[in-house]
Amino acid sequence: MKEIYLVLKICLIVFSSFLLTTCNGQTKTSAKSNAQKHSNSNISHSPKVSEPINSPNYGAPFINEPPANRISDFVRNIFQDSKGNLWFGTNGDGVIRFSGKSLEYFSENEGFNGLAVRGKLEDEAGNIWFGTERGLTKYNGDTFTNFNAKDGLLNTNIWSLIIDSKGLIWIGTLGGAYTFNGEKFTPFVIPESEPDVLRGVTSSKIVHCIMEDSNGNMWFGTPSGAYRYNGKTLTHISEKNGLPNNSINRILEDKHHSYWFATHHKGVSRYDGETFTNFTENGLVSGDEVWNIYEDSNGNIWFRAENYGVYRYDGSTFKNYSKTDGLLTNAIQCMYEDKEGRFWFGGWMGLFRFDGTHFSVVTKKGPWGN
């Protein structure tokens, strides 16, 4: 039944994105009054945590916990801004902000133009930017400004969003890549791919991910492999070069300047600039569908594998975490370490905390503190 509910919800989101691609151009909406009303009626303040977060008294299993107590059915990405606020992008409920004291929900009623949040970033001025299935949204702390096709973003179905070291915003959409300098959207041409028909959403121009490396090169993940842009030319890296699978979900450069690739059909690989090592094909990890890769402050590499929980790589060995460790879902979508050293994991069935050994469910009541 849960699987049917999720499928119906995702279908509704995809359908609504097509209906709204012809909506009005740039709009500004004040978020404060609506968000405060929503917060007062729906948000529980953080309890004082007197037990460790792996205590069974914190975060009840979902078989006993009604869905209304989750912060969302699906947490897609996590981000902490310069003020310490935690932002949780969802796959159907807009975006959620945790200020350290309470949760605030921002969606259509508050002027936030999107249901599925696929990217978040903060610029030098402290503005928070969001990429959704309906376009690009800027939040200045008071109002939301929404950008779509009439502003020059010709495809509003955003799948990736970053800001580079020069302050330029890069956007990957279902219809290709764009840059945005705060005033103008400019298409960035990447060769078309053969659509990956085995994925739920695909096209010949989709850009799944964008990454800037330590040398200032821009990397793009597509259905036909990776493209590296050095400021002048594009270099294509694909299965012909040893990449185990062309359908790339995420690219990460680690602190040793190796590159990690999360692929949709052949797991996770590491590239040293010359050769690829595929840890999935080598049998060191299980699970072919990998959506995300994350490096923590200690240099550990984290990734989730569909139906196989979460892996942590410490440079020599892989450690797998699953239901026996308190991780109640096999569909984790994101991992994040905040400035206080707390580890957060999101995906289907909501939000989780990790205390170093055990995962706990985070509901609207917490646990939020250390």
Written as tens digits, the pLDDT of the chain (370 aa) is: 444 444 444 444 444 443 334 344 676 766 654 553 333 223 323 332 322 333 233 233 344 445 668 999 999 999 999 999 999 999 999 999 999 999 999 999 899 999 999 999 999 999 999 999 999 999 999 999 999 999 999 999 999 999 999 999 999 999 999 999 999 999 999 999 999 999 989 999 999 999 999 999 999 999 999 999 999 999 999 999 999 999 999 999 999 999 999 999 999 999 999 999 999 988 899 999 999 999 999 999 999 999 999 999 999 999 999 999 999 999 999 999 999 999 999 999 999 999 999 999 999 999 998 6
**Cα 56 from Cα 235, distance rounded (Å):** 51
Bridge partners (DSSP) of residue 170 are 162, 179
Instruction: Give yes or no for a contact between 328 and 351, defined as CB atoms under 8 angstroms apart.
Output: no
Report CA-CA distances (Å) from 208 to 67, 188, 202, 302.
30, 14, 9, 19
Q: How far is CA 225 from the centre of its chain?
A: 20
Query: Rounded to 5 degrees, what angle do the CA atoms 126, 131, 133 make?
Result: 155
**Residue 127: how many other CB atoms lie within 10 Å:** 15
Instruction: Give yes or no for a contact between 77 and 335, defined as CB atoms under 8 angstroms apart.
Output: no
Closest by Cα among 267, 348, 357, 339 to 303: 267
For residue 12, the SS3 value is: helix
- Concatenated DSSP letters for 80-146? E-TTS-EEEEEBSS-EEEE-SS-EEEESGGGT---SBEEEEEE-TTS-EEEEETTEEEEE-SSEEEE
- Concatenated DSSP letters for 205-272? S---EEEE-TTS-EEEEETTEEEEE-SS-EEEE-GGGT-S-S-EEEEEE-TTS-EEEEESSS-EEEE-
For residue 41, the SS3 value is: helix
Report CA-CA distances (Å) from 14 to 8, 91, 158.
10, 11, 12
